[in-house]
Structure 1
Amino acid sequence: MSEPDSSPRIGQFVLITQGREAGQYAVVIHILDKRFVLIADGEKRKFHSPKRKNINHLMFFDCVSPEVQNSINESGRVTNGKLRFAVSKFVNEQVTDLKKGEHLDGERRCY
C-alpha cells in the first residue's frame, strides 16, 4: 500500500497518520517537492486552503481519483464537492473492503 520510494501523484488518496487530523482521509492536490504535498478533503480542508503535509506522515493508497486528477490537470483546480464525493466514495467502497481483509492492488478499480 505505501512504498517509501514511490512518489505521490495528483488525485491519490491518503490516510493522515500524524497530527491533529490523524485517521482522516484526503486527496493529494499538489506536490510541493520530494518531501511535502498539499492535501484537501473538500470538507474541513477546502481546495483554497489545503493542508501542507510531510509525506512521512501520510499513508498512500495505490488509488487515484480520475475525476480529481483530470480536473486539476485541465483547469488547475477542483471543486470542493468533487473532493468530498471522491473521498466519501473511496472510504465507502475501498476502505470497507480493506477492513474485511481484502487488499487493494493494481487489478481493482479505484474511484
Structure 2
Amino acid sequence: MSETERYPDLGQVVQILQGREAGQYAIVIEKLDSRFVLLADGEKRKYDRPKKKNVNHIVCMDFISPEVQKSLLETGRVTNGKLRYAITKFVNEILADLKKGDQLDGERRCN
C-alpha cells in the first residue's frame, strides 16, 4: 500500500471510530506526522480548536472537499462555514446514495 492510500489528505472527510465523538464525521485540516492529524467539523470542533486524532482511530471516506482543500492550500486556513458545508454536502449526497442500497466501498482504514 502506498503512503497516499494509507494517510488521509487535507480536506478529506473521515469518520471517527474512537472516543467521545465516535460515529461523527470531521474533515482533516492538518497532517501532524505519520500517526496524527487535526480534525474539525466547523460546529462542535471549530477550526481554531481542532481535535488531534490518531489515524488508527478514523476511517477515511472516499470524499475530499475541493473547497476546503483549496482554501487550506491557498491560505492555510478554512472557515467553519466551509467545513460545515462540506460535511453537510457529504452526508446529503454521498450517504443518501448509500442508503439507496449501494455498498460503502469508499470506506477504508486510514492507516
Asked whether the two chains share a fold, i.e. TM above 0.5, the reply is yes
The two structures have a TM-score, normalised by structure 2, of 0.86
Tell me what 1:69 maps to.
Answer: 69
Tell me what 1:14 maps to.
Answer: 14
- Which amino acid in structure 2 is aligned with residue 16 of structure 1? I
Q: C-alpha displacement at 1:103, in angstroms? A: 4.0
Instruction: Measure, in 2, the Cα distance between the counterparts of 1:41 and 1:66.
Output: 15
Q: Is the 8 A contact 1:27 1:41 kept in 2?
A: yes
Tell me what 2:28 maps to.
Answer: 28
The two structures have a TM-score, normalised by structure 1, of 0.86
Residue aligned with 2:14, SS? strand
Q: Is the 8 A contact 1:62 1:104 kept in 2?
A: no
Question: Is residue 58 of structure 2 the alignment partner of residue 58 of structure 1?
Answer: yes
Instruction: Measure, in 2, the Cα distance between the counterparts of 1:61 and 1:85.
Output: 16
Q: C-alpha displacement at 1:102, in angstroms? A: 1.5
Instruction: Measure, in 2, the Cα distance between the counterparts of 1:13 and 1:41.
Output: 9
Tell me what 1:82 maps to.
Answer: 82
Residue aligned with 2:95, SS? helix
Residue aligned with 1:18, SS? coil
- Which amino acid in structure 2 is aligned with residue 63 of structure 1? F
Instruction: Measure, in 1, the Cα distance between the counterparts of 2:86 and 2:42.
Output: 9
Residue aligned with 2:101, SS? coil
> RMSD of aligned C-alpha atoms?
1.5
Tell me what 2:95 maps to.
Answer: 95
Tell me what 1:109 maps to.
Answer: none
Unaligned runs of 5+ in 2: 107-111
Unaligned runs of 5+ in 1: 107-111
Residue aligned with 1:102, SS? coil
Q: C-alpha displacement at 1:100, in angstroms? A: 2.7
Residue aligned with 1:60, SS? strand
